[in-house]
A and B are shown apart, each in its own frame.
Chain A
Amino acid sequence: MAVITTTGGNGADHSPAESKLVVNLMHFARALRVAGLPIGPGKVLDAVNAIRAVGVGNRGDFYWALHAVFVNRHDQHEVFDQAFHIFWRDPKILERLMGMSMPDLEPGSAPPEEPPMRRVQDAFRPDSEEKSEGEGGDKGEKDEEETEYDSVMTASSRELLHGMDFDEMSAEEVARAKAAIARMRLPIQLVKMRRFRPDPRRARIDMRATLRSALRSGGATIPLKWKRRSQRPPPLVILCDISGSMSRYSRMLLHFMHAVSNDRSRVHVFLFGTRLTNITRHLRERDIDLALAKVSEAAEDWSGGTRIGAALHEFNTHWGRRVLGQGAVMLLISDGLDRDAGRGLEIEMERLHKSCRRLIWLNPLLRFEGFQPKSQGIQAILPHVDEFRPVHNLESLDQLIAALNRPAGRRLEGASEWLKMM
């Protein structure tokens, strides 16, 4: 279709070579789309116009012209680069591939057995598999969970569930807790913006509205109109430990993170064990089971060791400045047990603490009455958090929500008692 629209405008003066190029461009765009770049038909038109403007004499110009059109983000550069070199060396490879993968030509055809390009294979394999799984068993299971929850859960059993440690729950109780988490809302203390909204409670005069209403009455009287600063929740960044010692909690907390990600905008979620994984995009999936399937595929270090210092270092260098702007609140979920015995951790914690507005450490170990902040990892983290809270049952999650909704006190306030024990 793209070919017809592009050549339709002034088709008379096109040489066969150019129309061949247009067809190739269309195939190239298609290959990029399959590899995961967001490319619509409009982009193909742009590409054709760009190539007309730049010409095909210089391979470098040709490359950068297509790059300017097709690449929208720095991280798409790699995919583009690979696809470009494969495609324009031998478009035949992709032609063969296209024959196999064009869904509108062969509806219902199976994914290719041995596609020549790995990236393309990766790009659509997991998606189709997940879909078939998700639409099959998982949906039914979830419905069951919910009906069961409605009928069985009485007030007293809910209370019991509320105080129960995630670690001690049976499979059925876990399912109920998950349902309760899915309904949780996280109203973080709002921050004032520099923008205004109308407000009758006499904060500031809104001159524009005042003058307009003055004119309505012919200028005889000038009724004052009011406005105040608008407010919005700050960004929320969650860093969650998924090492072996945390495994029981982190899986439950994923449900919490999913509920939060879908409830509000500007939430970023990272998992870490031995390395750091950004799962923000995966959690945006509405369906919890689909989201969790994507997450477990993305993070490769489930239930392994923890290298908190290294993970935080990676976060600080690659993500800190990108996600912690605009007064972000940060949740660090970890038991503080570090395989590297706290090496390099203190410096990274200090950097992290200075980069965000409020840093809250959630630690499931706090459930033990006689908890002492003695391990090296914990001693390295504790001086650099604003608040230190337990997170091991539904009640602690509720308390967390209440704490986030309170106006923030002085920094370090919520951790000072623990600091005295060190």
Chain B
Amino acid sequence: MTQPIPQSVEATLELLAKGNYVADRSLATALYLALKMGRPLFLEGEAGTGKTEIGKVLAETLGRKLIRLQCYEGLDVSSAVYEWNYSAQMIEIRIAEAAGSRDRSEMEQGVFSERFLIKRPILQALEPDPIRGAPVLLIDELDRTDEPFEAFLLEILSDFQVTIPEIGTVKAKEPPIVVITSNRTREIHDAIKRRCFYFWVDYPDAKREMEILKVRAPGAAEGLAKQVVAFVQKLRGEDLFKLPGVAETIDWTNALIQLDKLDLDPQTINSTLGILLKYQDDIEKIQGSEAARLLQQVKTDLAAGG
């Protein structure tokens, strides 16, 4: 079930394709290096460009377990790495007391043993999995957490080990495959990035986006998909607060399929624009005449291009 790590850039591309992920060769190169050299892959880019998806696809195609750590402000050791099961420990102490045990070190060993340890994502990722091999650890939206947590990650990312004061150091026999994503709502410190292979995930070009739609929205008519891609590409050229990502393109296409559309028209665009644009200012700017103008351009371009 567990697939071996791909041995070339081509093999990496094939692997991603197998997981229905249409990737650029540049991304495959960075991913291949990360896998081959056992380093984390650091993916940065706008929201909705498919960063998180890479981690998921990787786990799926390699047959590994996916462990996801969603970051948020104030994320701390007890929710990211481990926590003790306090109520069970309390009961253990009471039982030991009732049994008349007075040996302190014995009791300490009993209470702070692995039995009472609640393992959170990072500790889980360091555990050996004899059947499926080292897991894929997806550290999602690292920019949401704060600098102290980043500093804590340094030890884990370079040595793949965690120190629990009561037990000792836990070290991964086989390091997990680590994928880190960031939306760049703030800069991540260089010390983290230096330990990783960096890749900026950009919006795809029209050809690539067309391929993505074929895989992700197979129900769309060829003509509709072409119009959708051309329209979204045009939108990305506009002066908007938040440009639509690939995820929005896919959502929009699926919505249009549900509405049984074979062809874009201004009316439909206006009523479904909320799927593409997420800010009221942006919607206001595009809705109506601007949308009609863009659509007209798209149709002329497509007619000219055949």
User: Contact: A68 with B30, CB < 8 Å?
Assistant: yes
User: Contact: A218 with B107, CB < 8 Å?
Assistant: yes
Give the nearest-CB partner of A235 in chain B: B186
- The contact of A322 among B93, B184, B281, by CB within 8 Å, is B184
User: Contact: B37 with A323, CB < 8 Å?
Assistant: no
The yes or no answer to A156 lying at the interface (CB within 8 A) is: no
Q: How far is the CA of A322 from the CA of B143 in the complex (A)?
A: 9
User: Contact: A194 with B26, CB < 8 Å?
Assistant: no
The yes or no answer to A420 lying at the interface (CB within 8 A) is: no
User: Contact: B32 with A323, CB < 8 Å?
Assistant: no
For A193, what are the chain B residues with a Cβ–Cβ distance below 8 Å?
73-74, 146
User: Contact: A72 with B194, CB < 8 Å?
Assistant: yes
User: Contact: A351 with B199, CB < 8 Å?
Assistant: no
Stretch at the interface among B83-91, B120-128, B205-213: B83-91
- The contact of A54 among B9, B148, B200, by CB within 8 Å, is B9
Give the nearest-CB partner of B77 in chain A: A195
User: Contact: B190 with A38, CB < 8 Å?
Assistant: yes
Q: How far is the CA of A50 from the CA of B146 in the complex (A)?
A: 31
For B147, what are the chain A residues with a Cβ–Cβ distance below 8 Å?
265
User: Contact: A72 with B241, CB < 8 Å?
Assistant: no
For B33, what are the chain A residues with a Cβ–Cβ distance below 8 Å?
50, 53-54, 65, 68-69
For A322, what are the chain B residues with a Cβ–Cβ distance below 8 Å?
184-187
For A53, what are the chain B residues with a Cβ–Cβ distance below 8 Å?
32-33, 36-37
Give the nearest-CB partner of B240 in chain A: A317
For B200, what are the chain A residues with a Cβ–Cβ distance below 8 Å?
71, 74, 77
Q: How far is the CA of A126 from the CA of B143 in the complex (A)?
A: 32
Give B73-84 as 1s and 0s: 1 = Cβ < 8 Å from A's Cβ atoms: 111101000001
Give the nearest-CB partner of B79 in chain A: A194
For B74, what are the chain A residues with a Cβ–Cβ distance below 8 Å?
193-195
User: Contact: A194 with B73, CB < 8 Å?
Assistant: yes
User: Contact: A61 with B9, CB < 8 Å?
Assistant: yes
Contact status of A211 and B76, CB under 8 A, knowing A64-B30, A326-B146: no
Give A299-325 as 1s and 0s: 1 = Cβ < 8 Å from B's Cβ atoms: 000000000000000001100011101
User: Contact: B84 with A208, CB < 8 Å?
Assistant: yes
For B68, what are the chain A residues with a Cβ–Cβ distance below 8 Å?
none
The yes or no answer to A347 lying at the interface (CB within 8 A) is: yes
User: Contact: A74 with B193, CB < 8 Å?
Assistant: no
The yes or no answer to B29 lying at the interface (CB within 8 A) is: yes
The yes or no answer to B155 lying at the interface (CB within 8 A) is: no
The yes or no answer to B97 lying at the interface (CB within 8 A) is: yes
Q: How far is the CA of A67 from the CA of B25 in the complex (A)?
A: 13
For A325, what are the chain B residues with a Cβ–Cβ distance below 8 Å?
143-144, 185-186
The yes or no answer to A219 lying at the interface (CB within 8 A) is: yes
For A194, what are the chain B residues with a Cβ–Cβ distance below 8 Å?
72-76
Instruction: Count contacts on A: residues with CB < 8 A to the other chain.
Output: 46
For B26, what are the chain A residues with a Cβ–Cβ distance below 8 Å?
60, 63-64, 67
User: Contact: A211 with B86, CB < 8 Å?
Assistant: yes
The yes or no answer to A131 lying at the interface (CB within 8 A) is: no
User: Contact: A211 with B90, CB < 8 Å?
Assistant: yes
User: Contact: B108 with A215, CB < 8 Å?
Assistant: yes
For B193, what are the chain A residues with a Cβ–Cβ distance below 8 Å?
72-73
For A49, what are the chain B residues with a Cβ–Cβ distance below 8 Å?
37
For B9, what are the chain A residues with a Cβ–Cβ distance below 8 Å?
54, 58, 61
B159-209 interface with A by 8 A CB criterion: 183-187, 190, 193-194, 197-200
For A46, what are the chain B residues with a Cβ–Cβ distance below 8 Å?
37
Q: How far is the CA of A186 from the CA of B9 in the complex (A)?
A: 52
How far apart are A205's CB and chain B's nearest CB, in angstroms? 10
For B143, what are the chain A residues with a Cβ–Cβ distance below 8 Å?
325
**Best-buried of A54, A207, A219 by chain B (most CB within 10 Å):** A219
How far apart are A354's CB and chain B's nearest CB, in angstroms? 10
Give B260-303 as 1s and 0s: 1 = Cβ < 8 Å from A's Cβ atoms: 00000000000000000000010000000000000000000000
How far apart are B23's CB and chain A's nearest CB, in angstroms? 12
User: Contact: B241 with A68, CB < 8 Å?
Assistant: no
User: Contact: A218 with B102, CB < 8 Å?
Assistant: yes
The yes or no answer to A110 lying at the interface (CB within 8 A) is: no
Give the nearest-CB partner of A320 in chain B: B241
Q: How far is the CA of A193 from the CA of B73 in the complex (A)?
A: 8
- The contact of B190 among A72, A77, A211, A321, by CB within 8 Å, is A72
Q: How far is the CA of A294 from the CA of B149 in the complex (A)?
A: 32
Give B91-107 as 1s and 0s: 1 = Cβ < 8 Å from A's Cβ atoms: 00110110000101001
User: Contact: A214 with B93, CB < 8 Å?
Assistant: yes
How far apart are A231's CB and chain B's nearest CB, in angstroms? 11
User: Contact: A68 with B76, CB < 8 Å?
Assistant: no
Q: How far is the CA of A278 from the CA of B34 in the complex (A)?
A: 33
For B111, what are the chain A residues with a Cβ–Cβ distance below 8 Å?
211, 215
Q: How far is the CA of A211 from the CA of B186 in the complex (A)?
A: 38
Q: How far is the CA of A316 from the CA of B241 in the complex (A)?
A: 8
Q: How far is the CA of A77 from the CA of B9 in the complex (A)?
A: 21
How far apart are A24's CB and chain B's nearest CB, in angstroms? 19
A interface residue numbers (CB < 8 A to B) = 38, 42-43, 46, 49-50, 53-54, 58, 60-61, 63-65, 67-69, 71-74, 77, 193-196, 207-208, 211, 214-216, 218-220, 222, 265, 316-317, 321-323, 325-326, 347, 351
B interface residue numbers (CB < 8 A to A) = 9, 25-26, 29-30, 32-34, 36-37, 44, 72-76, 78, 84, 86, 89-90, 93-94, 96-97, 102, 104, 107-108, 111-112, 143-144, 146-148, 183-187, 190, 193-194, 197-200, 239, 241, 281
Jot down 23 A-B pairs with beta carbons below 8 A, ordered by A: A38-B190, A53-B33, A53-B37, A54-B32, A60-B26, A68-B33, A68-B34, A68-B197, A68-B199, A69-B197, A72-B198, A73-B193, A194-B72, A194-B73, A207-B86, A208-B86, A211-B89, A215-B104, A219-B96, A322-B186, A322-B187, A347-B281, A351-B241
Going nearest first, the 8 A-B pairs with the smallest beta carbon separation are A194-B74, A64-B29, A68-B30, A68-B197, A207-B86, A64-B26, A219-B93, A72-B193
Q: A69-B33, A207-B86 are in contact. List 10 more A-B contacts (CB 8 A).
A: A50-B37, A60-B25, A65-B29, A72-B190, A194-B72, A194-B75, A195-B74, A196-B76, A215-B108, A218-B104
